[in-house]
Amino acid sequence: MKYYIIAGEASGDLHGANLMKALFKAEPNAQVRFWGGDLMQQVGGTLVKHYQDLAFMGFAEVLANLKTILKNIAFCKKDIAKFNPDVIIFIDYPGFNMRIAKWAKKQGFDTHYYISPQIWAWKESRIKAIKRDINHMYTILPFEKPFYEEKHNYKVAYVGHPLLDAIEQFKQKTHEDFRIKHKLDNRPIIALLPGSRKQEISKLLTEMLQIVSRYPDYQFIIAGAPSLSELFYKPFIHTKNVQLILNDTYNLLNNAYAAIVTSGTATLETALFNVPQVVVYKGNELSYQIAKRIIKLKYISLVNLIMDEEIVTELIQNECNTNRIQTEFEKVINNPGRSKMLEKYHELRDVLGGGGASEQVINNIKKNLREN
């Protein structure tokens, strides 16, 4: 069988890699072409485009790069048509993937979507396109199944969150001592996760680093994005108490005492590693003002969204400043705030349920292929 997979971000690369592992286990001779990243490339198949060439975030940024985006869409359609896959699997990245899905469904391709577009947050009208263009949807958040099935009469398969598996697989491996490997001392480690895109890192890392000099009893480690080099980060680092570590984020979180994290998948990863955190986000002002008016969510972090309560503090836009970050950072390195957050993390795991998301998706795809 021939599979075409499209993942357009770092998180999609992680989930796509685990999905491909499950696919090759079930079907060793599967032919796979994909848009993704280094993790997917390590599994096998043929990389068509790397996500670092695709990741534009925010309304203003998308407009500025519209010509490139349209070229990528046109190229993707031609590549799919030439490969002629039996199955197309879309992983998140809805702005791009839904456009391809509309075309693909008209061409008669079998369309599967893994990790639902967040239409429960905004653009709920996309349900019409999903019903029309997506043959099978696989969701990873517990509240998405009733949202689709009860509110919109669209059947989906809830497969659980793939991060549970990714982190469990990591913990089962034997790892070199993190402190020795990176020449760290015995002070508690504070992880700084400023995101994976250049534009968000530029805004957020500067704010994160403002508090470093106030905490000499801790050592601060920046988690470098896999698609960026050390040269990109150097201009931000102006103090001795900060170190950059590339491509070792899970090891960092596994050894961290606390963290300051950019909103996104990393907030859930940090929680699943039981690391108390402060969540931050600061975007382009125009994009933020537009988003504020159309996104209908109480929270932006996955931890709070899943639990439907404020477990981790979110410092957004103007609130994301040195004084507020320090105030909330004090709470996560000291009790009772620290202990309360760790208790809530335990509840979060219970809500997410069991693992095996990637295997469930592949089993569902195989089952649907047999039925069709």
- Which pLDDT does position 60 carry in this prediction? 53
The domain spans of the chain are 2-160+356-371, 169-352
CATH superfamily of 169-352: Glycogen Phosphorylase B; (3.40.50.2000)
* Predicted structure pTM score: 0.81
CATH superfamily of 2-160+356-371: Glycogen Phosphorylase B; (3.40.50.2000)
Those residues of the chain that have pLDDT short of 50 are: none
In this chain, the answer to whether the domains covering 2-160+356-371 and 169-352 adopt an identical fold is: yes
**156-214, pLDDT tens digit by residue?**
999 999 999 989 989 988 788 999 999 999 999 999 999 988 888 988 999 999 999 99
Contacts of 54 (CB under 8 A, 6+ apart): 8, 9, 35, 72, 93, 96
How many angstroms separate the CA atoms of 210 and 203, rounded?
A: 12
Q: Select from 331, 297, 296 the least CA-distant residue to 312.
A: 331
- Which pLDDT does position 347 carry in this prediction? 95
Q: Select from 223, 15, 257 the least CA-distant residue to 113.
A: 15
**238-283, pLDDT tens digit by residue?**
888 999 999 999 999 999 999 999 998 899 999 999 999 999 998 7
